[in-house]
Chain A
Amino acid sequence: MAAAQAGDQRAYTRVLNDSVALIRAVARRQGVAVDALDDVVQETLLTVHRVRHTYDPSRSYDAWLAAIAARRAIDILRSHGRREQREVHDEFAFDTHADRDDASAGAERAEEAQRLRKAIKTLSPGQREAVEQLGLKERSLAEAAAQTGRNTGALKVNLHRALKTLRDRLHGES
């Protein structure tokens, strides 16, 4: 990581690849479900990238990484908890209301959503942040700027680039 702080890309990708196992172990210890472990990995990697200047080479890298991973694991657990509180499962409504479209249309929509989610995850961190803040969380530019610490101009540019990338990527696939 010390080499990565100086700008060594190969050392950086190697240390990040080596970090995945520890992040997963920390998340498991925090009680994160197996299907959410990879979300913790992604969030932790993004945080590591943003705060890599806080690593002190005279101290343990594992302790530094584990602290960040534990924090992101707690965030994921909380967001899942909130979602469960907000969303209700009404079996009666499911049984008595027929789907408006047939099953294949639903499956197709789910597949499209899945592709979009995957495409968003491969965006660069800045672009991904803009899509998440402005598109998925529906925050205003000012709120997103306050949340991310970026200025509104940079957010707009990132969103614009992200949409272009997504358009190219999704049209290229279909």
Chain B
Amino acid sequence: MSDAARHEALIDALGAELTPVRRLLPPWRRALGWLLVVSAIAAVLFMRYGASTMLHRWDALPDLGVGACAGAITAITAALASFVLAVPGRSLRWAWLPVPSALLWIGASGLGCLRLHLPGVPLVDIHATDDCLVFIVSYSLPLSALMIWLIRRACPLRPVVTAVMIGLASAAASASLLEICHSYDATASDLFVHATAVAIVVAVNTLMGGRLLSRA
């Protein structure tokens, strides 16, 4: 059988088993679905902890507020980039979308530990930073798993970049959720723990998520 005939035979076989398919929703709508789940968790945390502690910290130290908002924007942009990159034919440049907000997030959080600490707000001790690590990692895992499950319905041809974006989106979302119930001023050790948690989540996603997505 010649190669042309081989292709024809395969095309005929594929044509014979063709069934109508439901088209994938646009990436922004799929990202919105994931962000709604994050918003629902945020709503539950607000009901449990209220917004006063968070707003008091932001009011006294605007850089904490800027960092938290940049973290939330990173979660949104990284989620959108993940869903866009999972569609064949979309530009790799989408991977740059969360970079400015991620830099602002890291920068504002980093500056937070260099200035004087807020009177009246307790400084974090090393045991509490463990809780931060556990919080970020344990919220990130289900959020990452949900996004991987959603993205596997598309066709991520660049599994590793997509997995990095998923990790960044989940870690940023979890750190933003932590902000709601985080009653401490920022310190270097606290920031270090947050950065470690984010790095763990991104690394685990890159290793595991890359494999889970590479079926496409």
Contacts and interface: CB of A to CB of B under 8 A. Distances in A.
To the question of whether A and B form a pair in one complex, the answer is yes
Interface of A: 4-7, 9, 12-13, 16-17, 20, 38, 41-42, 45-47, 49-57, 59-60, 63-68, 71, 118, 121-126, 147-149
Chain B's interface: helix, strand, loop or mixed, by majority? loop
Given A16-B11, A38-B6, A118-B1, A52 B89 contact: no
B155 A54 contact: yes
16 contacts: A5-B20, A7-B20, A13-B15, A16-B11, A16-B14, A16-B15, A45-B10, A51-B88, A51-B154, A56-B23, A57-B23, A67-B89, A122-B9, A122-B13, A123-B13, A148-B215
B130 interface: no
Interface of B: 1, 3, 6-24, 26, 87-90, 154-155, 157, 215-216
A63 B26 CA distance: 17
A148 B157 CA distance: 16
B30 to A, nearest CB: 11
Contacts of B3: 38, 41
Given A42-B7, A121-B6, A147-B215, A54 B87 contact: yes
Nearest to B216: A51
Contacts of B154: 51, 54
A125 B6 CA distance: 13
Contacts of B157: 67-68, 71
Nearest to A69: B88
A121 B10 contact: yes
Contacts of B8: 17
3 tightest A-B CB contacts, nearest first: A7-B20, A64-B89, A51-B155
B10 A122 contact: yes
Contact of B22 (A42, A53, A64): A53
Contact of B18 (A7, A55, A66): A7
> B6, B7, B17 — which one has the most chain A CB atoms within 10 A of its CB?
B7
